[in-house]
Amino acid sequence: MSTKEDAKTRAIFLKRLREQHKASTARAQALLKEQKAIRRQICQPMRDGPKTVPEIAQLTGIPADQVLWHIMAMKKYDLIVETGMCGEYYLYQRVEDTKK
């Protein structure tokens, strides 16, 4: 087979693959969009200073377990840091705000 034939075969294969997985790709994109929106909501109260998970949950209306899940994900990627404690809860702050 020539290089042009290989490229054409590959293009046809990829087109079929994209068609077959169109629904799952759309679901994944929708989920990512929803998660980004939730993370923006979570970060909003922290602009005023460090907050605990219960404080963020109360201010945003997002259940505390979901807030904690997103906080841990953002912490994993160095978007959020622990800045101390308030009682028995950790205080979290956006990394952007710690650099100011």
5-64, pLDDT tens digit by residue?
889 999 999 999 989 999 998 999 999 999 999 999 999 999 999 999 999 999 999 999
Q: What is the pLDDT of residue 90?
A: 96
Q: What is the pLDDT of residue 4?
A: 84
Token digits of residue 51? 């907050």
In angstroms, the Cα distances linking 35 to 1, 39, 67, 86 are: 45, 6, 11, 27
Domain boundaries, the chain: 3-98
* Residues 71 and 92: beta-carbon distance below 8 Å: yes
pLDDT band (50, 70, 90) for residue 3: confident
Q: Tell me which CATH code domain 3-98 carries.
A: 1.10.10.10
DSSP track, 27-73? HHHHHHHHHHHHHHHHHTGGGGS-B-HHHHHHHH---HHHHHHHHHH
Q: What is the pLDDT of residue 99?
A: 67
Q: What would the mean pLDDT of 61-74 be, rounded to a whole number? A: 96
Looking up tokens 């290989």, which residue turns up? 6
Q: What is the pLDDT of residue 65?
A: 96
Q: What is the pLDDT of residue 2?
A: 72
What pTM was computed for the model?
A: 0.74
Q: What is the pLDDT of residue 100?
A: 58
